Structure 1
Amino acid sequence: MKTSLLSVVVIAVIAVASVGMLIAGGYLDGGSAVNIVDMSGRTVHLNHTVNRVVILESYWTEIACALGAEDKIVGIGSYVTPSVFVPDSVKSKDVVGNIFSGVNIETVLALDPDLVIMDYGYGKAAETVQALEGAGIPVITLYAKSFDDIINATMIIGQALGASESAQSLAGYMSSLHSQLLSNASSIPTEERPRVLICNLDVWKEGQIYAYSNTSWGNVVVDVGGINVAHERFGGMQWVKVNVEQVLLWDPDIIVIIGRTQPILSSQMDSMDDPIWHSLRAVKEGRVYPVLSGSYDRESYLDWTPRMVVGELQLASCIHPAHFASLNWTSAWDWLISNYYGYLQG
């Protein structure tokens, strides 16, 4: 039996409210102090209201802006400036580097931030956190492998920047759509679930591809009623480089090609003119779908931001159009624009 959308919304809002209370650590939003457990499990103590924040990644910056906290951003990472979902007023802030090539700690200190928000788990993240905290600057670390992680990150950013009410409302909307999507997918019989390869062809010149397994993109395939062939084979690995022989063995029903810009996607689709692809079921049946990800194109929705719920619906319409006809991804994006991304309409 399908759950009504109203029931889903109520359940989602209650769940998000519970997450918010856990994140707050017992302190009220807007109070003089707050304890926040970030996504690497660290307890971060903020002893006063955050008025100045440095954010290193484009997706966390985008969430802060969507929550109305753009005026608190005083510095950004170098990968924020190319984002088309961040206002120009924020992209003009001082750039402090990134956790791949390194963060200029002196530049960060000169900005006198109350908080730094950044990724963890790769690059120079660990040494950056150590240096910043050694200088007395609190650091919140975030990362996303799933839709729930994006919800959690939204709540954490809202709590840290004094925008909990806005974050709870936004997360409630995202969760309601996600829950409806899961409800629809649960009714799809096992025998009707297609085997899906979601990948990019950045290394096709080497005769290989990157397949998304246990990543936010890869997990969307499962959420919308597909079988992620890479996850079946490689389990908990996030993304894997596989050769063409493995792709031929999989012979997926559907192939989703991921790229960050239209030119990249066009180039990757051109790569599929190689005759080796022509024997695949997905190619023969015309079920190869190019999908944008990241923040470089206004038609990109797969990212660690509120746009992710739109990207989920977009993928659902490719993988199971009949089961998700009632969930319109363009309407979802229009709602987000009207309610949280109004700065893009200027």
Structure 2
Amino acid sequence: MSDFLKPRKGISGSSGYLSPQIDVSVRLNANEAPDGPSKGFTAEHELNLNRYPDRSAGKLREEIAKKYGIFANQVFAANGSNEVLQNFLLTYGGSERSLMVFKPTYVMHSKIAAITGTPVIEGERELDFSLNVESTCEKIIEYKPSLIFLCSPNNPTGLPEPKELPERILEILETYKGILLIDEAYGEFADTSFLSLLSEDHPLVISRTFSKAMGLAGLRLGYLLGPSWCIDEVGKVSLPYHLGTITQELGLEALKDSVSLEKRVTDIIKERDRISESLRKFSLEVWPSETNFILFKAKNQDARQIWEELISRSILIRDFSMVDGLEGCLRVTVGKRSENDLFIEALGEILK
């Protein structure tokens, strides 16, 4: 391969998304919902798949806007929140600007930044994975990044960002030009959301997804909420007809099913708390969570060995033990009650 053209700088030598897909009986590694939409979930009318989809995804954007009490021109939809983030960085990032993230956090923030040629400035979290408001603001003031990403609740740690932090950052952004993006992929599970801060006067956007609480990870549908001046520019970067007809129609159907959504979220939170309580009975450090997953750490055993032992029992969770700042940590997704019981039982046997 040395005789051929290499990938451009910043891409060559980089790795792909490292989340193993292994054929097991119990998959609790990817933060998917344990159940999908209610039975009979389908598009309500015949789809003309010989025609291109609605290029603007107008109806879908209108219904998402209604959900949050905003306007359709304040919504951008794409194939999963990762594509949303990529379009945003293609629009507002680049080599002459910078993105500030606070690690450990969602790895795709930095990876998509690299793909779009956007330099990343890394801030640090506290030992408990929280963000110190004062030191975070000081770092922003020092570096003046064009873009700032928060993840609330944070993946993979599970904690929401401090309530006062986004307002403080927006105050700082009154002194120079920049945009704050808050990734709320797990927002439905949390007690705190920053949706109320959205305004035409604020350089703030919030990304959300149909993949987690709505149980549609296989559909690949995410969206960005924000001021119309920002959403309009992000939309210009998207490819024509980027969001397929099936995705748009099933997204519309999912938005009608608020009862199932509320029940799913309630059930997941109940199971999450039950699993957390069970894990604390073992010799584990367990972090509080406002998501559909739990981060934990064995005090006396090797995390990689635990992960492999679980796989040998056909149970897959996520191994973060080799990630900077997450040494020794594992993450389990809340599954069905029967799956969670199998995980708890197997982990107890391994930890004996």
Q: TM-score, normalization: structure 1?
A: 0.38
Question: Greater share of helix residues, 1 or 2?
Answer: 1
- RCO higher in structure (CA 8 A, sep ≥6): 2
Q: TM-score, normalization: structure 2?
A: 0.37
